Amino acid sequence: MEELNGRMLACQILITGLVAHVANSSPDPLRFLTGFRDEIKAVIDGIDISGTESAERVRAAAQLSVDELFSLMKAPSPDV
């Protein structure tokens, strides 16, 4: 289980870095990040989660994870 958690964390870091890189290339990074976050949340809301007794708990955990990842991203500094 620890190996799975480590791999999931590594994937989250990789995806966060990729999204941040694309956002920095965009003319309006904050709008890009906000739109991307909203799209991800809509996907989570629409996913059919089977094989668990508590699909809503899994969905809530996924939403919380998205909120945490995007809260770590900040707008680029004006110095750059």
Q: What is the pLDDT of residues 41-52, one digit of tens each?
A: 898 888 888 887
The predicted model gives 50-59 an average pLDDT of 85
Spatial separation of the C-alpha atoms in residues 44 and 58, rounded to whole Å: 10
Q: Residue ranges per domain, the chain?
A: 2-72
Percent of the residues in the chain that have a pLDDT greater than 70, as a whole number: 86
| Distance separating alpha carbons of residues 71 and 59, to the nearest angstrom | 18
pTM (2 d.p.): 0.68
